[in-house]
Amino acid sequence: MARKQGSHSDITGPRILDTALRLIAQHGFAAVSMRQIASEVGVQAGALYNYTPDKQSLLFDMMREHMADLLAALRDVDLRGDALYQLEAFTRFHIRFHLPRPDQVFVSYMELRNLSPANFDVIERMRRDYEDALEAILRQGEAEGTFSVADTRVATRAIIAMLTGLSHWYREDGRLDIAAIEAIYWDLVRKSVAA
């Protein structure tokens, strides 16, 4: 019953990544089987191997795609102006980018230990690039006299942890909408590093 109607490779490919992402976010990488993914895609397990060399690459590909999207989107953010303005832009960008992608956030922050060492290094490097962008803002603010942080590296990680934690409890049908949440978090971030 192969190829029932039309060419499927351009549909099945993304569908596999989407399905795998959803399942892995829900149950964890090791707890999801290739047959489970295949079943939800509507295909046999063997067919997955037309699109990925192995299960590990499936995980790696979705994490790399997420980080690449993140870094690309960050490059489009207007980061001119003084440090305070940049920090606000970064904060709002982080929230707006991550909130609509709870599964990607979950997988990217929870399944790092299931990456092979080589793949881990790649993702870790991209994460580092993202952190560096925020740290640069903090350093600039420190130079301007706008900010006062004892350690820009620690402050960077603290802020990112705070912002990312949001994705763990935010629900679309919750008490607060994105605008309200942005305001609350920006208030916390701004004050935490204020001079």
Partner DNA sequence: TTTCCAATTGAACATTTGTTCAGTTAAGTG
Partner DNA sequence: CACTTAACTGAACAAATGTTCAATTGGAAA
Residues 44-63 that bind DNA (CB under 7 A): 44-50, 53-56
Tokens of 65: 């795609």
Q: Which is nearer to DNA, 114 or 152 (CB)?
A: 114
Q: Which helix (H) or strand (E) holds 165?
A: helix 152-169
- How far apart (Å, rounded) are the C-alpha atoms in residues 91 and 15? 31
- Site for its own copies, residues 30 to 59, rule: CB under 8 A: 30-31
Using CB under 8 A, which of the segments 24-32, 37-45, 53-61, 93-101 binds its own copies? 24-32
Tell me: does residue 26 bind DNA (CB under 7 A): no
Q: How far is the CB of 58 from its own copies (least distance, A)?
A: 15
| Binding partner at 35 among its own copies, DNA, none, C-beta below 5 to 8 Å by kind | DNA
d(CA 156, CA 172): 27
Q: Tell me if 179 contacts its own copies by CB under 8 A.
A: no
Identify the three-state secondary structure at position 124. Answer: helix
Q: Which of residues 127-166 bind its own copies (CB under 8 A)?
A: 149-151, 154-155, 157-162, 164-166
| N- to C-terminal Cα separation, the chain | 67
- 190 contacts DNA (rule: CB under 7 A): no
102 in Cβ contact with 67 (< 8 Å): no
Amino acid at 155: A
CB 163 within 8 A of CB 185: yes
50/58 Cα distance (integer angstroms): 12
Site stretch for its own copies (CB under 8 A), options 10-18, 40-48, 86-94, 185-193? 185-193
Residues that bind its own copies (CB under 8 A): 26-31, 110, 113-114, 149-151, 154-155, 157-162, 164-166, 168-169, 176, 181, 183-185, 187-189, 191-194
Residues that bind DNA (CB under 7 A): 1-12, 32-36, 38, 42-50, 53-56
